[in-house]
Amino acid sequence: MYRTVDGEELFIIDAHIALWDASKENQLNNHGEEFINCFYDYHRNLTPPEYHWDKKSFLKYSKETLISDVFNKGYCDMAIFQPVPLTDFYKEPFGDIKKNDELVKQYPGRFIGNGSFDPRDKEKGLKVLEEETKKYHLKGVKLYTAEWRGESKGYKLSDPWAKRYLEKCEELGIKNIHVHKGPTVTPLNRDAFDVADIDDAASSFPNLNFIVEHVGLPRLEDFCWIATQEKNVYGGLAVAMPFVYARPRYFAQIISELLFWLDEDRILFGSDYAIWEPGWLIDKFMDFQLPEDIVEETGSVLDLKVKRKILGENAARIYDIDIPRKKEELKNSPINARGDRSIV
């Protein structure tokens, strides 16, 4: 729980975390090493020096480390796992729904464990999605449209099989579709993360929420033009968040454009842990103020009310989380969330 200097409580949901295994032992080929090295470059280049991880810890970290960083030190009340299998690069899934579920069960009420699907798995994958929905009570999925699968270097949400899977999601009650549409990761192809297919998917499936992770960067303008028309499109701030430290002016441009084109109810906080830890991101975001010239140009407002929505209330709404009830539920949790902060 995060408390401001005047005692106001903010319920925080980190909508984008992972528990990954990119260890040497789990790397299937050199692509697995390339992939995690790219993650580590993002980490080193956009993180304050005092929060840098050593490479060995970054490759594979413990469940205890995640609990400490996300909750004990990170202010979060809840967090959402967004797994990416990458089974062409790693022996066991890079992000494993089974391992995530162990933490979901160990710490009731603290986690939401999302699943994933790949439409290139066709009929077999549809059956797996149905089985996993029943077993893990899925409320959302994370899609990685640039993931390699054999000779294929990616897919689009406008593909016929992708639409079959989205139809299945509607049937199963999976309403939150998180899609990586951001910076490429070596060796994946940049164009396979293009945001254009979001437009078709959101129009075709108005009852689903499409959370565009990383707000389409570096295609922010394209994303905003789509999201302003499609009211079931949301922006996930993972990857955009660390610029609040590394390039605050650039972050101001990003967040003001989102507030101008979308609205304050369709922007979700995500740390992209373990590339970045939520604690320092939240500290800097709460201290951050939009420059006067940007406010004058866009009319954007980033006050405490808006920050409260971005940090937790928006995710709570689309995941049907009753915040007052959840607070009561978590009072006896074995996890101790970080507390007071001396900011306005």
3-state class of 209 per DSSP? strand
SS3 content of the chain, % helix, strand, coil (to 5): 45, 15, 40
**C-alpha distances in Å from residue 250, one per residue of 91, 101, 131, 218:** 38, 36, 43, 12
Tell me what pLDDT residue 5 has.
66
Give, rounded to a whole angstrom, the gap between the first and last alpha carbons of the chain. 16
- Helices 196-204 and 220-229, packing angle to 10 deg: 10
Q: Where are the alpha helices (DSSP H) in the chain?
A: 30-46, 55-59, 63-67, 97-106, 122-136, 160-172, 196-204, 220-229, 243-246, 248-261, 278-287, 292-298, 304-308, 314-318, 323-330
- Asked if 94 and 30 count as a contact pair (C-beta separation under 8 A), the reply is no
Tell me what pLDDT residue 343 has.
35
pLDDT for 181 beyond 70:
yes
Tell me what pLDDT residue 232 has.
98
Give the model confidence (pLDDT) of 79-108 as tens digits: 999 999 999 999 999 999 999 999 999 999
The domain locations on the chain are 2-330
Give the model confidence (pLDDT) of 43-70 as tens digits: 999 999 999 999 999 999 999 999 999 9
| Cα–Cα distance, 283 to 75 (Å, whole number) | 9
pLDDT for 28 beyond 80:
yes
Residue 49 DSSP label? G
Determine whether domain 2-330 maps to CATH 3.60.15.10. no
Tell me what pLDDT residue 342 has.
36
Residue 334 — pLDDT band, cuts 50, 70, 90?
confident
Ramachandran quadrant class, 239 (left: phi over 0; alpha: psi -120 to 50; beta: rest): left
| Cα–Cα distance, 36 to 189 (Å, whole number) | 15
Residue 90 DSSP label? B
Average pLDDT over residues 288-312: 97
- Residue 266 token pair: 């369709």
Averaged pLDDT score across all residues of the chain? 95
pLDDT for 344 beyond 80:
no
pLDDT for 1 beyond 90:
no
Number of H helices, E strands in the chain: 15, 11
Tell me what pLDDT residue 335 has.
82
Tell me what pLDDT residue 189 has.
93
Q: What is the pTM of this model?
A: 0.96
Strand partners, 268: 236
Residue 7 — pLDDT band, cuts 50, 70, 90?
confident
Residue 111 — pLDDT band, cuts 50, 70, 90?
very high
